[in-house]
Structure 1
Amino acid sequence: MAKTCQLVMLSLLSFSAFISVMAEHQPFMSNASLKGKKQTHLRFFWHDTLSGSNPTSITVAKPSNANTSAVFDFGFVNVFDNPITEGPELESKLLGRSQGFYTDASQNTEPFQVLFSSLNFAFTEGKYNGSTVTVLGRNPILSTVREMPLIGGSGVFRFAEGYALLHTHRFNPQTRDAIVEYNIYVWHY
């Protein structure tokens, strides 16, 4: 029994020494990630087109109990590959594409209908060419201004964090086509 206690104590001391050495060489948390970041403000327009002969957004799932009076119905899912442009006109300078999906994840439409949105913005123009940012979260679409979290990026925006402010520039309730202005504030290295 005494031998077992000694072995346990020796093992615990060895483990404590190992943890102490590891903590010295690889700290659990480091403030280095907070240093040296810069902020970039991105402003562009997202064109979500469900109508016409060449839609960029399509409904891939519809609930069986759809409410025809609602803009969107709880449970529907849309997948998109939308252009993002410098101005609100579709003919303005193309900055890239946005791929992702949105779904009505709220059973209650009061006071606002709420979508859950996953958007990957892939830039094809200028110094951000080949870089991406990802926005993911709750989108109460009828609010004047919405805020969504930016959860990451690639290329120039590697290790990105930040937020997006969304404002609907134009919406057609009959076709559900929308143009949304995005102001994204990105902190990155």
Structure 2
Amino acid sequence: MEKRAFGVVFLLAIASISQTVAQTLLTHGSIPVEKLFLGPLPVTQIRLYFHNVAAGPKATAYRIANSSITNTSPTLFGFLNMIDNLLTASPDPNSPQLGRAQGLYGSADLNAIGFFINFNFYFTSGPYNGSTLNIIGRDAVFSNNRELSVGGGTGHFRLANGIVTARTISGDVATMNAVFEFNITVYQPIP
């Protein structure tokens, strides 16, 4: 009987909290993140460099699919590349290795160069060794101001979310070899 009574009290408490959150959202439009987690969230700032090598003997990005219009499309619409790219501390590929970017990118826009990306940044050294961050979004690689999302993480970045700003350091349109700078701001409720 005590277990049943506890269960009822527990469900009523959850319902009350849910109702309070719903009323706050309806009344105020949103709840500051700090109020959801009873304090400020830990923030981690990371700058790293992503080396896309799609041509040459040491390629780390491989074409795995083309659509029927990829070769005639001005935006290369429909191609898909699988990557295992180097992440480093500076634009120099010989600088300290931080990890690997593993995942997919492809042309997803018929009218402009706009790639859909879904990468796991897998850290292999430093304080985040063994942890991952999932980076996802639309990357207009020829734009100076690009934003992507942090869609989660593991290890040090468990339950993470955040924002990534990207810029192109160097690139070759013909080979698709390029170096990108990623500035990552990660919020996580569990330090």
Measured against the shorter chain, the TM-score band is 0.7 to 0.9
Structure 1 residue 148: Cα displacement: 0.6
In 2, distance between residues paired with 1:176 and 1:182? 17
Corresponding residue number in structure 1 for 2:154: 154
Tell me the equivalent position of 2:50.
46
| Residues 90/96 of structure 1: CA separation in 2 closer, same or farther (3 Å cut) | same
1:74 aligns with 2:63: no
Q: TM-score, normalised by structure 2?
A: 0.80
- In structure 2, which of residues 100, 115, 119 is the aligned counterpart of residue 97 of structure 1? 100
* Matched residue, 2:11: 22
Map 1:1-189 onto structure 2 (within 5 A).
18=8, 21-25=10-14, 27-28=17-18, 31-33=35-37, 35-67=39-71, 70=74, 73-109=76-112, 113-188=113-188, 189=191
Deviation at 1:66, TM superposition (A): 2.9
Query: Quick one: percent identity of the two aligned structures?
Result: 35
Match of 1:9 in 2: none
Q: Following TM superposition, where does structure 1 have runs of at least 4 consecutive aligned residues deviating by more than 4 angstroms?
A: 29-32
State the AA in 2 paired with 1:23.
Answer: L
Cα distance in 2 for residues equivalent to 1:106 and 1:69: 10
> Please, what is the CA RMSD of the aligned residues?
2.1
Which one has the largest radius of gyration?
Answer: 1
Cα distance in 2 for residues equivalent to 1:97 and 1:154: 15
Letter paired with 2:88:
T
Structure 2 unaligned segments of length 5 or more: list them.
Answer: 1-6, 22-30
Aligned-partner SS, 2:115: strand
Give the 3-state SS of the residue equivalent to 2:127 in structure 1. Answer: helix
- Point out where structure 1 has 5 or more consecutive residues left out of the alignment: 1-16
